[in-house]
Structure 1
Amino acid sequence: MGRSPLTALVPLLIVPTLIITTSACGVVDRDTATALPAGTVQVLHSPSLAQLPGGRQADAAGLVGGHALLHVQETGVLSRVDEFTARRWGLPEPVRADDGDELVWASLSLGGRQWRNSDRDVEWARVAVLAGGVRTTITVPLTASADPTAYADAVLVSVPAGEPVLVQLTDDGVTQSIDVRSGRRVDDARGLYPRPVQEHGFRYAGNGTIDGTPVRFQAFADGFSLEPWVPGLGWARDGHAWLAVKRFRISGGAPAAQLTLDPALAVSVLAPDGRTHPADTDRIPVTVSSGIAPHGLYIEVPATFRYGVLRLSPAALKAGLTPVTWQNEPAPADFPIGLS
């Protein structure tokens, strides 16, 4: 007897990742890859900056926390991870989704932020995946690369086909999310702020006289930035951000040791809408001889703020808690702010 047409085709169907068997009903394909049950969350790492197949660029998928910056570079959906890709991402064997499920993935980068003069004991940022109503905390290494495209970590999630998957950053009690399927930030995400912004800052020197004694007052800052969270004050209100005056420091001549500066009276920002926003440093006056202000100098402004004028009024100096009587006041000064 000759071979049937079906039997003759069997050798042509054999590929390395499939085991082909025959039965009375025909050909049955059995995938040898390990099936990941729905709800499985795996963090992958590739020392060679490998890519997962089928990815597309995420759209503005960055989250700014108080202590961390989380960014999603690419997202994608798979039914299977082949042996070669699995090996490059540190998986011991090929994996696949169960029937009716799919593998959703995102490449991640987590950067840390360092704040000086912070006396708040806050919780370090946590990264989690939310799928099917279950939140799974994951560990993503802090990146040491300054290259924003150097993504060597990814999260792989097995879910029922079409089910939403979120990557979340929780920092000091605030949770922000990225929709992995769309690659977009969702409604709970705080603003994205320009960074870096202005680097030249300002320098001020003014002369005055108190009780016949000359006083030379000086103030310096290295620049400005917009921040959603700052030490000592926490998160800005909804729709607002902290304008940080970077490394604000002050000094003065005799009787400098007796003088204090109340930032809420001495420093303010004039916004384009004509509104004036006073500074806040956790409501702590600054001794002129103490140098850098505790926690830094911050002004809460609308999150859309991009330019304005910083006004310095050194006549608001005090002797302890008592306003100073000047015979000759140091002149106020205005400095333009332009955030790029």
Structure 2
Amino acid sequence: MGRSPLTALVPLLVLTTTACGVMDRDTATALPAGTVHVLHSATPAPLPGSRETGAAGLVGGHALLHVQETGVVTRLDDRTAARWGLPEPVRADDGDELVWASLSLGGRSWRNSDRDVEWARIAVLAGGVRTTITVPLTASADSATYADAVLVSVPAGEPVLLQLTDDGVTQSVDVRAGRRVDDARGRYPRPVQQGGFRYAGNGTIGGAPVRFQAFADGFSLEPWAPGLGWARDGHAWLAVTRFRMSGGTPAAELTLDPALAVSVLTPDGTTRPADTDRVPVSPSSGITPHGLYIEVPATFRYGVLRLSPATLKHGLTPVTWQREPAPADFPIGLT
């Protein structure tokens, strides 16, 4: 029995449909939900769907984590994948998304080596799973070049957090929103005052004239301080940057107790003393800088620093003065 013309066309139609289906399929590798990739580009390379976050950064005790841009896409094409070190284009599974953030990790200014950053851990939290990642250390978290990124595959709309854990405290950035969340400490960028102060005063110890000098390069507000740890909730450390003090004989035998000699008057009328170890007074000006820290409200922006060098000591014994050096006040204005 012969076939009708319509029957004869059926195999051809099936073949054509199958062929078209093969041609239209996306050959990019699907990343299952929960996949986390750290990407690196030899040169700054844009990622699709990007938007700048402004100041989505985290300040740790040993590290600074800065998130420059974030984005949400369903696919990275061949060219973008190649720029970011992926061997092939990638895509999200049906119902999933690819969430990414460009970032940099910098060490704090007082670190002695890259090993100090081992105190800090970077992780991605998505779908209740926390994945620790390794991010190259840069010279500064404020770098103009962002050649590192993290790419996470998650169900559409699933929250994605980028976290910094430093000295026992975890802080987070909401990658989708591009902002810090409630567990973040301090502000980023941190308020600073570039100009510091210089004190020069004269006194007499046992009839011998002594001239004292104190210097500081500036001030900054920090959530963490070396040797003191994290400030209490609602507070921050006012750092007196590169504080040093010098004087003539017999200054080489003298120490300054910051809790007695340095304090800040805050706008609410409270006097807050410094909280650090004794500072040696050198006979020369070429001395090692010493950190001074004063715990203030986290909202602190203005105040007056008072230096009272008359509280100098011979070791642990207060100095007996014939003529005390005068105290001095210096205004603070953080911006």
Q: TM-score, normalised by structure 2?
A: 0.87
My pick for the range that moved more, 129-138 or 290-299, is: 290-299
Q: CA deviation at 1:293?
A: 7.2
For residue 83 of structure 2, what is the aligned residue in structure 1?
88
Give the distance between the partners of 2:173 and 2:322, measured in 1 at CA.
Answer: 58
For residue 308 of structure 1, what is the aligned residue in structure 2?
303
Q: Which residue of 228, 233, 236 corresponds with 1:233? A: 228
For residue 163 of structure 1, what is the aligned residue in structure 2?
158
Which SS does the other structure have where 2:42 is aligned? coil
Q: Residues 116, 191 of structure 1: CA spacing in aligned structure 2 closer, same or farther, 3 A cutoff?
A: closer
Q: CA deviation at 1:124?
A: 2.5
Which SS does the other structure have where 1:87 is aligned? helix
Q: Residues 194, 27 of structure 1: CA spacing in aligned structure 2 closer, same or farther, 3 A cutoff?
A: closer
* 1:46-195 alignment runs, 5 A limit: 46-115=41-110, 123-144=118-139, 148-193=143-188, 195=190
Q: Residues 161, 128 of structure 1: CA spacing in aligned structure 2 closer, same or farther, 3 A cutoff?
A: same
Q: CA deviation at 1:258?
A: 3.3
Q: CA deviation at 1:39?
A: 0.8
Structure 1 portions without partners, runs of 5+: 11-19
Bigger fraction of residues in helix: 2
Number of aligned residue pairs: give it: 324
For residue 213 of structure 1, what is the aligned residue in structure 2?
208
Which SS does the other structure have where 2:55 is aligned? coil
* 1:196-207 alignment runs, 5 A limit: 197-207=192-202
Give the distance between the partners of 2:210 and 2:279, measured in 1 at CA.
Answer: 17
Q: CA deviation at 1:320?
A: 2.4
Query: Is 2:199–2:215's contact at 8 Å kept on the other side of the alignment?
Result: yes
For residue 255 of structure 1, what is the aligned residue in structure 2?
250
Give the distance between the partners of 1:121 and 1:91, measured in 2 at CA.
Answer: 30
Which SS does the other structure have where 2:252 is aligned? helix
Which SS does the other structure have where 1:289 is aligned? coil
Q: Residues 61, 147 of structure 1: CA spacing in aligned structure 2 closer, same or farther, 3 A cutoff?
A: closer
Q: CA deviation at 1:177?
A: 0.4
Structure 2 portions without partners, runs of 5+: none
Q: CA deviation at 1:323?
A: 2.1
| Aligned residues: CA RMSD | 2.9
Q: TM-score, normalised by structure 1?
A: 0.86
Q: Residues 223, 150 of structure 1: CA spacing in aligned structure 2 closer, same or farther, 3 A cutoff?
A: same
Q: CA deviation at 1:307?
A: 1.6
Identical columns (%):
83
Q: CA deviation at 1:100?
A: 1.9
